[in-house]
Amino acid sequence: MSCLNAEQQRRIDQQLRLLSSVRAMLPRGSTPYFGHMRLDTGMREVDVLLASTMRTGPAVSFIDWQTAPLAEVFFAYDEGEEYEVEVGERLVEGRLLEKNLLGFDAGELVRIDSSVGTLLRHMETGWASLEGSGRPRMTPRSPSARRPFRSPLEVRLDPAQQRVVDLPEHRSVLLLGEAGFGKTTVALHRLVELQRKAGRGFRGAVVVPTEGLSRLTRLMLERRGVEGIDVWTYEAWAASVARPVFRDLPARESVNATAGIVRLKRHPALRSVLADYVRLRPKPAQDEERPTRSRARASRVDLEHLFGDRSAMERVIAGTGGALPQAIAAEVTEHTRIQFLDMTEVEYAHVRRENLTTVDGLRIDAGTPMEDADSVDVEDYAVLFELERLRAEASGAKPTSLATYDCVVIDEAQEFAPLELALLRRCVRPGGTVIIAGDAAQQVDSTSFFPGWDAVVAELGVPEAERAVLEVNYRCPEDVTALARSILEPGRPAARTESAITRGQHESPFHLAVRLTEELRSLQSEDPTASLAVVCRSPEAARTVERALRHGSPVRLALDGEFEFRPGLTVTCVQEVKGLEFDYVIVPDASASTYPDTRESRRALYVAVTRATHRLGLASAGAWSPLLAP
Ligand SMILES: Nc1ncnc2c1ncn2[C@@H]1O[C@H](COP(=O)(O)OP(=O)(O)OP(=O)(O)O)[C@@H](O)[C@H]1O
């Protein structure tokens, strides 16, 4: 701590004067506002306080830092710079004279961070200046560690990895190991090697649960010049095989199925209800008004009979042993009812066309409960194929052949439901093989139920698959791996020194957003070829963080797999980043409320932190998550 210079003293006096002038306007609270800007608007100088609500006083305005366009000035400009901000239709210009990030304790000003340093008020000794900011910052990686993106197909495998690639061609393989231990890498090397050995006519595929990982896999294969291997998300693959078989399916997939509905349709307890249903209805159900000429052993109308039957749904729920609440039965039947209604445009087809157009050009049902009229759920594809298989079996016939591939890699296999695995099994040609890669600790899809690896290989029809557990960490710095393990296993200590990890606890979400913006800007200027990801717990949190950060630097939001795998900053969420990696990873919501001590939280935080190849930043605007206790 050191003495104050004249400018520092002026800032303190100014802030105290401002505080006393607005005190009467403030609600009682420990943090009345978070920041201050003095702006030269061209006509006069004004003080603007950044708070969580808007309020205007005679000499000063309070703006909501999350919604007010003017808040951008605080994030995006330095003192002395001319600013330009769009406010509605207008362009507002001026000069940022001063900005101060403020800290309060029980309503009293105790900290000012600004271009003239960090000023702290000590209750006994008064104000003093702190050397540095007193906050740890992420250090950029060294220039020698900066390498452009490399496809895992370009790395040289270690002997244990190579042994898996060299297993006899007819063996299926189950590849296990912690995050970043090379499961995807080995799976792809083996697939490419099998393709090379088999020569022309070989058909291979990779099936993954997320769009982001499918894009990355495609990129990795392209980088190596590998051709002739299909890369699918499970959903796209299932639709591609279902539509030619079940001709009566509507073109649209639903958008409003709740997590409960999806969980029920993916739950193993559905199986016995499907078997009962087929016993009662050995022939596919028909729409009496619009009979189809489809020869498939299951029809869309089966879905209506099955999922529209409240007592059948209650039986599924009873079979889940308490995993699903009773209320889901009504949700499923109501959702099914809507799916079998006509879209408003079809129902009112007799009305003049122009009367059925909306101002915004969207469908009439968009955003209403009717939005899912005439739609199918992605989960229905596996259900239909299971009905079809059961009926074929009951009549001594063979189910429709889907066998296309000589080898299929199923990556992040812990995320697939048993019925989906059983369907995937059908795409493997007789004599073909499966390469399964997964890590049960990374199971983060809350709508799925991981049945254990024995059940996975059984569903895929390869109980004899060779198990290989990879044991060398290639992705994360050692202290990140130690932290990741301690997150999964309560009581296990993290590393004693954390050179690749930075922890920052902040007074408020505003302070966090400001410091994160500063940190990301300086990292991007010091290490411009790096990939940076801010990984939030939920898509909603990612949207909020992206809104705050985009004031300060260019940022991409990736919530539907739209990763670009190039340098720059991406804001995303845990569900999206399975299988991906970034040079710098920041978890901005590592708080007790976001990551409480539950199994789901442990797995989600484990996935988030293990995406980092060089540096990990943990930030919280409240109490730390108990999973991160030092
Ligand atoms: N033998 C190796 N030499 C150098 N780098 C390797 C080697 N094996 C894997 N890697 C690298 O390690 C990183 C992690 O590999 P990979 O993505 O295959 O791990 P994973 O086990 O599938 O991870 P996750 O569980 O997160 O999906 C990648 O950058 C990959 O290129």
Residue-wise pLDDT tens digits, 104-162: 988 899 999 999 999 999 888 899 998 876 678 888 888 888 877 777 788 999 999 99
- Rounded to an integer, what distance in angstroms lies between the CA atom of residue 583 and that of residue 5? 40
Amino acid at 265: K
Mutation probe of ligand 1 site: the residue of 149, 153, 155, 176 with most atoms within 8 A of C-beta: 155
b/e map 234-263, b = 16+ CB within 10 Å: bbebbbebbeebbebbeeebbebbeebbbb
> 291 pLDDT exceeds 80?
no
Tokens 């990355």 locate to 216
Does ipTM top 0.85?
A: yes
> 500 pLDDT exceeds 90?
yes
Ligand 1 atom nearest to 158, measured from its CA: 1
Q: Do 135 and 515 touch, CB atoms closer than 8 A?
A: yes
- Rounded to an integer, what distance in angstroms lies between the CA atom of residue 607 and that of residue 180? 10
- The number of angstroms, rounded, from the C-alpha of 93 to the middle of its chain's C-alpha atoms is 37
> 312 pLDDT exceeds 80?
yes
Task: Compute the CA torsion angle 152, 155, 156, 160 (nearest 10 deg).
Answer: -30
Q: Do 517 and 619 touch, CB atoms closer than 8 A?
A: no
In degrees, to the nearest 5, what angle opens at C-alpha 544 toward C-alphas 539 and 549? 120
Distance 475 CA to ligand 1 centre (A): 6
Low-confidence winner among 342-356, 438-452, 566-580 (lowest mean pLDDT):
342-356
Instruction: List 92's β-bridge partners, or say none.
Output: 85
- Rounded to an integer, what distance in angstroms lies between the CA atom of residue 586 and that of residue 532? 8
The pLDDT tens digits for 209-258 are: 999 999 999 999 998 899 999 999 999 999 999 999 999 999 999 999 99
What pLDDT score was predicted for residue 548?
83
Mutation probe of ligand 1 site: the residue of 178, 220, 436, 474 with most atoms within 8 A of C-beta: 474
> 541 pLDDT exceeds 90?
yes
Q: Which residue has the CA at smallest separation from atom 11 of ligand 1?
A: 474
Q: Do 393 and 278 touch, CB atoms closer than 8 A?
A: no
Tokens 């022309």 locate to 200
179 Cβ inside 6 Å of ligand 1: yes
Mutation probe of ligand 1 site: the residue of 184, 411, 610 with most atoms within 8 A of C-beta: 184
Ligand 1 atom nearest to 177, measured from its CA: 21
Which phi and psi angles does 375 have, rounded to 5°? -140, 165
- Rounded to an integer, what distance in angstroms lies between the CA atom of residue 227 and that of residue 230? 9
- Rounded to an integer, what distance in angstroms lies between the CA atom of residue 264 and that of residue 242? 20
527 Cβ inside 6 Å of ligand 1: no
553 Cβ inside 6 Å of ligand 1: no
212 Cβ inside 6 Å of ligand 1: no
